């Protein structure tokens, strides 16, 4: 790993000039391990929505890098996020994806935890006089909600989610999306044979749209599609809808793994989350949120177009992974007039992996 980043200053300069991250950053398990430790296990990430934990006892599980997470709603209405790892021998406590429980009982030896993560009981604990259950809660993580969305950060020194999202809520307002009126009605899951960064980079530009997304490009004016990378932890994208004056599509990418597609007609939002599985495989979930006045026809047409574009993108992402893995090229060259969002994202990746988190990565729009 050290040999890959030993010329970090030179790589930083090349990224600023429009080179991409080296191809090895998409194929080397050592790089992926560093990303898991320095990015995926220490940042705010979308894990699910409030509809999954509406009632006391509701829970769901998620994954942040290598860390299994369980999110619960306790009997007093409190929201909790904890490592889904038993303090006894390290087994995952909860195996189900979601459900409702009065307690969380480990399936291995029966250690039982309250919904806030405190240890309630352990079989045969009375046989060990030194056993103190108060010292063995599930490890707690920072958890916050934004509208119907739930974010978790495993870092011990996690700052506030509001610091990370900055002025992003203003983009939602300008796009006509009112989070308090949305409810999640559908989740689609896609398994992609590519590195997680490729999936996000593909979302961060529409340079490929006229060639790869003909149906989408009939609806959106890709010639005037523009990006804004002037914010530290998110970038945003805007494209006018053909033949509808004043109407547009709006997208955003929030560091490190979540993307948003915003729509005023129908009043809807997609939350796309990449779940890195290993260096060459990613699971992507798309959560669809709609306002109550959305029609069945409107929902169906919206989802059908999204699914079409997603499946077209999977072909692209898997092709890039195979190409980068061939060893033929060391890196790529960005078309910065159209792909500045990729540069913004890659500089954040470099900044975290190289340990230079203190340096701002915001890039002015040109």
pLDDT band at 363 (very low <50, low <70, confident <90, very high): very low
Is 365's pLDDT higher than 50?
A: no
Contact 349, 362 (CB under 8 A): no
Supply the pLDDT for residue 19: 96
Read off φ and ψ for residue 257, nearest 5 degrees.
-130, 5
For residues 66 and 6, give the distance between their C-alpha atoms in angstroms, rounded to a whole number.
25
Is 252's pLDDT higher than 60?
A: yes
pLDDT band at 358 (very low <50, low <70, confident <90, very high): very low
Give the 3-state secondary structure of the chain: CHHHHCCHHHHHHHHHHCECCCHHHHCCHHHHHHHHHHHHCCCCEEEEEHHHHCCCCEEEEEEECCEEEEEEECCCCCEEEEECCCCCCCCCCCCCCEEECCCEECCCCCCEECCCCCEEECCCHHHCCCCCHHHCCCCEEEEEEECCEEEEECCCCCCCHHHHHCCHHHHHHHCCCCHHHEEEEEEEEEEECCCHHHHHHHHCCCCCHHHHCHHHHHHECCCCCEEECCCCCEEEEEEEECCCCCCEEEEEEECCCEEEEEECCCCEEEEEEEEEEECCEEEEEEEEEEECCCCHHHHHHHHHHHHHHHHHHHHHHHHHHHHHHCCCCCCCECCHHHHHHHHHHHHHHHHHHCCCCCCCCCCCCC
Between the CA of residue 317 and those of 18, 149, 192, 202, 203, what are the distances in Å? 20, 27, 8, 7, 10
Supply the pLDDT for residue 1: 52
Q: Could you tell me which residues come within 8 angstroms of residue 317 by beta carbon, excluding any fewer than 6 positions away? A: 192, 194, 198, 199, 202
Is 89's pLDDT higher than 50?
A: yes
Which tens digit of pLDDT belongs to each residue from 262-289? 998 899 999 999 999 999 999 999 999 9
Average pLDDT over residues 21-44: 96
Supply the pLDDT for residue 5: 55
pLDDT band at 3 (very low <50, low <70, confident <90, very high): low
Average pLDDT over residues 204-218: 95
pLDDT band at 4 (very low <50, low <70, confident <90, very high): low
pLDDT band at 244 (very low <50, low <70, confident <90, very high): confident
Supply the pLDDT for residue 355: 84
Is 362's pLDDT higher than 80?
A: no
Which tens digit of pLDDT belongs to each residue from 155-176? 989 999 999 999 999 999 999 9
Q: Which residue has the tokens 């530009």?
A: 205
Domains present along the chain, CATH in parentheses? 2-22+166-353 (3.90.380.10), 45-153 (2.102.10.10)
For residues 269 and 290, give the distance between their C-alpha atoms in angstroms, rounded to a whole number.
7
Supply the pLDDT for residue 216: 94
Of 6-15, 71-80, 142-151, 308-317, minimum mean pLDDT range: 6-15
Q: What is the mean pLDDT of the chain?
A: 93
pLDDT band at 364 (very low <50, low <70, confident <90, very high): very low
């Amino acid at each position: 790993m050290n040999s890959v980043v030993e010329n970090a200053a030179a790589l930083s300069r090349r990224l600023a000039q429009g080179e991409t991250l080296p191809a090895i950053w998409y194929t080397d398990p050592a790089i992926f391990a560093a990303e898991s430790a320095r990015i995926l296990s220490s940042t705010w990430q979308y894990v699910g929505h409030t509809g999954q934990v509406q009632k006391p006892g509701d829970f769901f599980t998620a994954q942040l890098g290598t860390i299994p997470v369980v999110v619960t709603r306790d009997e007093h209405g409190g929201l909790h996020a904890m490592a889904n790892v038993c303090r006894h021998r390290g087994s995952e406590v909860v195996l189900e994806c979601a459900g409702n429980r009065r307690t969380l009982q480990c399936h291995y030896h029966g250690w039982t935890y309250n919904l806030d993560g405190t240890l309630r009981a352990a079989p045969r604990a009375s046989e060990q006089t030194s056993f103190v259950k108060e010292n063995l809660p599930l490890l707690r993580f920072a958890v916050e909600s934004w509208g119907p969305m739930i974010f978790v950060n495993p870092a011990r020194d996690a700052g506030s989610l509001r610091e990370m999202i900055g002025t992003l809520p203003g983009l939602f307002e300008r796009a006509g999306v009112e989070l308090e009126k949305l409810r999640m009605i559908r989740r689609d899951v896609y398994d992609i044979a590519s590195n997680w960064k490729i999936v996000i980079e593909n979302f961060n530009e529409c340079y490929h749209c006229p060639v790869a997304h003909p149906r989408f490009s009939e609806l959106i004016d890709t010639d005037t599609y523009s990006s804004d990378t002037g914010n530290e932890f998110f970038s945003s994208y805007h494209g006018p809808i053909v033949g509808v004056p004043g109407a547009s599509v709006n997208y955003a990418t929030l560091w490190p793994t979540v993307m948003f597609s915003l729509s005023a007609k129908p009043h809807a939002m997609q939350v796309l989350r990449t779940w890195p599985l290993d260096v060459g495989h990613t699971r992507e979930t798309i959560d669809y949120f709609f306002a109550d006045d959305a029609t069945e026809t409107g929902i169906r047409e919206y989802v059908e177009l999204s699914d079409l574009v997603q499946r077209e993108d999977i072909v692209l992402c898997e092709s890039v992974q195979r190409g980068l893995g061939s060893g033929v090229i060391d890196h790529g060259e960005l078309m910065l007039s159209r792909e500045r969002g990729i540069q913004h994202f890659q500089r954040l990746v470099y900044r975290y992996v190289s340990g230079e988190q203190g340096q701002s990565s915001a890039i002015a729009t040109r």
